Amino acid sequence: MLVRKLKIEDMSQIVEILATREERGQRRAEERAAILEWIAFHNPFMVKDQPTYFAVEDEGRVVAVHGRMPLLFSIKGEYKKGYFVHDLSVHKDYRDKGQGFYLTMELAKAIERETDSFFCLFGMTPLNLQMQRRCGYHEMSFDAYVKVIRPEETLSTFVKSPMLVTLLSPLASVAIRCADLLLMPWKRGALEIVRVDRFDHRFDQLFKRVSPKLGVCTVRTAEFLNWKYGDGPARRDTVLAAFEGGELRGFVVLGLAPRKTIPVGLIKDIVMDPDDHEVTRSLFLAAIRKMREWKVYSIRCVVSDPRFAKLLRRFLFLRMADHEVVLVGNLSKSADADLLRDIKNWHITFGESDIFMFSAGIPPVKTGQGSAAVSDSQ
């Protein structure tokens, strides 16, 4: 078997691999392969001839693939090379032969060897996480949050009687709405929240300005944001941006969780000064209002920065403790290894890695414990 760089001419075989995954048929495999091709061959941070995916070839047949997304990371405001390792798939024929773990380890070794800096893994399936843990990468966890909007979903988890759920839901909805109204500011201030469809130089300027105050995260250039949220296949994201006197002060990216039987909203990305409470409050309120228009049952997000987490709790987002896992490898190749080992130094949201560039869902919820005018339409 040969581990090599994925080539564009391999894509028909990638469709075949994806179609053998239990939850997919041919149509969904083709849709996902289109997104995989976008990630593999259109990444604005890729270097010519540098592998973005590694493939295992057996007698001329591609039987496994693993992605390695080249990126720039902001570390204390300095831009440094890094990667997200993602999107592992092994053909069912080889999984059935018991070779899935072996092929995963061979791909992992190739990625470690061929990668010149640190890399992260985030958004793995439970099985992939179990296998990647065998590689000995540094593991960190952080919290996810959920805000209940329509209580039927949550009540049905705890109340087994459908009739009682129907009876209690209107009362719970009124209580939730009243609590939300108490959070709404009386004044709008100078901020204006608008929907934007394209990212331009103002987003480059914003990130340069706020990156020293954000934790370790992907550099959000306008080119990168358009690649991730604007131009690729199957994109249905909504971007709300805060402006003050013509200056961009921050933005959030919103979407819906795919393949859910009921609508579930997502806060995918958060970019703003975490200490600018007026901007963060206004954008979070705008996000909640927008997703109420979508009639979602709940809103979910993940944040590793405690400053954003504190505000989410004030807006009645419930914490799912240690819900998310991120692995960091190749730390010996980074001068910032000590800083990268502490999750408190990171700014991770759903928008990192490939997790929502693919049409993938999210795990079921297990809960633990100024003014803005939205001038857009969906």
pLDDT of residue 360: 41
Do 19 and 148 lie in one domain? The reply is: no
Do 303 and 371 lie in one domain? The reply is: yes
- Containing domain of residue 239, as a range? 143-324+337-375
Instruction: Report yes or no on 153 lying in a domain.
Output: yes
Residue whose structure tokens are 């380890």: 105
AA letter at 326: V
Do 45 and 151 lie in one domain? The reply is: no
Instruction: Report yes or no on 65 lying in a domain.
Output: yes
Do 90 and 164 lie in one domain? The reply is: no
Instruction: Report yes or no on 124 lying in a domain.
Output: no
Do 160 and 105 lie in one domain? The reply is: no
Instruction: Report yes or no on 94 lying in a domain.
Output: yes
Cross-strand bridge partners of residue 73: 80, 218
Do 357 and 212 lie in one domain? The reply is: yes
Instruction: Report yes or no on 127 lying in a domain.
Output: no
Do 97 and 222 lie in one domain? The reply is: no
- Per-residue tokens: 127: 């099985």
pLDDT of residue 20: 83
Instruction: Report yes or no on 160 lying in a domain.
Output: yes
Residue 227 DSSP code: I
pLDDT of residue 142: 95
Do 88 and 232 lie in one domain? The reply is: no
Between the CA of residue 83 and those of 26, 134, 268, what are the distances in Å? 30, 19, 19
Do 79 and 190 lie in one domain? The reply is: no
Assign residue 16 the CATH number of its domain.
3.40.630.30
- Per-residue tokens: 8: 């564009």
Do 197 and 307 lie in one domain? The reply is: yes
Q: What is the pTM of this model?
A: 0.85
The total of other beta-carbon atoms located within 10 Å of residue 330's CB is: 21
Do 278 and 369 lie in one domain? The reply is: yes
Nearest-5° Cα angle at 21, 112 to 102 = 35
Instruction: Report yes or no on 319 lying in a domain.
Output: yes
Do 74 and 161 lie in one domain? The reply is: no
Looking at 78, 99, 117, the residue that finishes a domain is 117
Instruction: Report yes or no on 161 lying in a domain.
Output: yes
pLDDT, block means (10 residues), the chain with 378 residues:
94 92 75 90 92 95 95 95 94 92 94 95 87 93 90 55 57 63 60 93 97 95 92 81 95 86 91 94 93 92 94 90 92 96 96 69 38 36
Task: Confirm if 192 and 373 have CB atoms less than 8 A apart.
Answer: yes
pLDDT of residue 174: 60
Name the domain count of the chain: 2
